[in-house]
Structure 1
């Protein structure tokens, strides 16, 4: 059963909780992509993945957030994601729900948000780690290369030279927390988010002393959220690795 909870007054400020039966393996905060642009139907993109994770014994907290042009962008998308994560903690307390280790998992722009959440300001709910599924993890590089038809530039309201403070605050590669592990799954035929987004993050993370690993799977940008593709096994393995670190 899926239950909806609001963390704000806007139509895109909500999350959906799906609970696993029995003792949970942990909780996944699942974040959809769309290059920080989109419409409400983007939320349902990873729903089959959410259901498959519940079947594997994970609670799933699927977060919606404001995107461009519907009130999103800097800083509102980040504020929404942070608020959505914190609502999970309050909801679990109210429902008496045992969360276990909480891991953020995001696809594409959601991968950016999943890893960014590890260093979000004023954090209350502790996170065990993050998993990026073909995520945008190097915003400077994304701005330079114009990925997603200028998606990074639009998201942050300008180029890095115009808003270096925004990039510093929003860029996962600039906010690496060595204490928290990151796992990355990326398709070798991805022509939407280039592999260099993952590769450059891994290099920087290792230099910073973070526990990081990249799994390259066969396929395009969307296979990493397909629960019947072998990429799903890579995601489950990454979740179990982070779970075991606790």
Structure 2
């Protein structure tokens, strides 16, 4: 009986419910919960931005009423740069949340490091994808308020990278045409010097060198100046990208354009689900100056 009671209490400690108004937020998501996430909406269109149609594409979601004053949201999934953890489908709950709030949303797929990505391919993918987004927004008159990037984990690294650096990291065309309003990192891995600590799996396909390239100053956001506001959200129970990652980035950048929030009891995977209440926090941060 004592063992039964202990097991029940351990379960309760792993799943935390928080009442907020009329909603009940549930925290404690694990990897298997994350892997089951998917969008309940069908995309309006799919756009390809490269020759590899299996990995170089964007799905576009358009709300019933378009408000051009709202920035377009581009979701960049995580997965520790590893196709084994997928990520594109699992970004679906974030897509649905922002679509429901009236945002035009793009879900971005890119080449993972274990299947031919890493440096420079993955970075080229993100750059080319955002050039495509900019073109679609202009052609379809979907938004005139720039792009809000939302990236999770390794996708957070890519989102903040995309909003940082100059001609040493990006083409002149990219810097001219891609108007990033802000970059949001959810459990983002911002210092590639810690990439193997956060994601030991990358040792399987070349380690940090495969992700960062020879010059980390061109690929690791903590070493790059940000061109747009960076907003970071971390869970207090995130064992992959703990709050210290955001704190270190904020200290290093020492900029009024960097802000971060730590969500009590949230895990790495809670950051990608509306059930946890984290996306409400993200929306509030995005709306703030």
Query: Which residue does 2:281 correspond to in 1?
Result: 234
Query: Which residue does 1:168 correspond to in 2?
Result: 217
- Structure 1: unaligned runs, 5 residues or longer: none
Match of 1:199 among 240, 247, 251: 247
Please report the RMSD computed on the Cα atoms of aligned residues, expressed in angstroms: 2.0
Query: Which residue does 1:137 correspond to in 2?
Result: 190
Query: Which residue does 1:214 correspond to in 2?
Result: 260
Secondary structure of 1:84's aligned partner: helix
Match of 1:7 among 30, 46, 49: 49
| 8 Å Cα contact 1:15/1:84 also seen in 2 | yes
Residue 224 (str. 1) matches residue 277 (str. 2): no
Secondary structure of 1:128's aligned partner: strand
User: TM-score, normalising length from structure 2?
Assistant: 0.75
Query: Which residue does 2:6 correspond to in 1?
Result: none
| 8 Å Cα contact 2:273/2:279 also seen in 1 | yes
Match of 1:185 among 233, 240, 265: 233
Comparing 39-48 and 64-73, the one that deviates more: 39-48
User: TM-score, normalising length from structure 1?
Assistant: 0.87
In the TM superposition, what is the alpha-carbon distance from 1:97 to its structure 2 partner?
Answer: 2.3
Query: Which residue does 2:62 correspond to in 1?
Result: 19
In the TM superposition, what is the alpha-carbon distance from 1:155 to its structure 2 partner?
Answer: 4.9
In 2: Cα distance, 1:187 partner to 1:34 partner: 17
In 1: Cα distance, 2:126 partner to 2:192 partner: 17
Structure label with greater radius of gyration: 2
- Structure 2: unaligned runs, 5 residues or longer: 1-41
In 2: Cα distance, 1:66 partner to 1:210 partner: 33
Aligned length: 233
